[in-house]
Amino acid sequence: MKQIVITAVIVCLSTLAMAQERHYTSTCGKTTKTIKYSEERKGGKVYLNTFQDNEKHEYVIGHGYKTESWKMVNASTTTDLTVTLNNGTYSISGFLNGKRISKTIKSKGKPWYQNIAYNAALTLKNAKSVEYECFRPDNMKLYTMSATNKGLEKFDGNSSVRIEVGLTGFMSAFWSCDYYFNPDTRMFVGYKGINGGPGTPETIISVSR
Report if residue 17 sits inside a domain: yes
Report if residue 178 sits inside a domain: yes
CA 132 to CA 147: how far, in whole Å? 8
Question: What's the CATH code of the domain at 55?
Answer: 2.50.20
Q: Is the pLDDT of residue 94 over 80?
A: yes
Other CB atoms within a 10 A radius of the CB of residue 175 amount to 16
CA 20 to CA 132: how far, in whole Å? 27
Q: Which strand (E) or helix (H) includes residue 115?
A: none
Per-residue confidence (pLDDT) for residue 7, from 0 to 100: 54
pTM, two decimal places: 0.86
| Mean pLDDT across the chain | 90
Mean pLDDT of the 109-133 span: 94
Reference 61, options 52, 71, 76, 51; nearest CA is 71
Which comes out higher in pLDDT, residue 2 or 125? 125
Report if residue 88 sits inside a domain: no
Query: Considering the chain, what percentage of its residues have pLDDT values greater than 90?
Result: 79
Report if residue 67 sits inside a domain: no
Report if residue 145 sits inside a domain: yes
Report if residue 164 sits inside a domain: yes
Report if residue 73 sits inside a domain: no
- With cut-offs at 50, 70 and 90, classify the pLDDT of residue 14: very low
Q: Which strand (E) or helix (H) includes residue 132?
A: strand 129-136
Mean pLDDT of the 193-206 span: 90
Report if residue 23 sits inside a domain: yes
**Counted domains in the chain:** 1
Summarize pLDDT for 140-186 with one digit per residue, the tens.
999 999 999 999 999 999 999 999 999 998 777 788 999 999 999 99
Instruction: Show the domain range for 132.
Output: 2-61+109-207
CA 60 to CA 109: how far, in whole Å? 19
- With cut-offs at 50, 70 and 90, classify the pLDDT of residue 37: confident
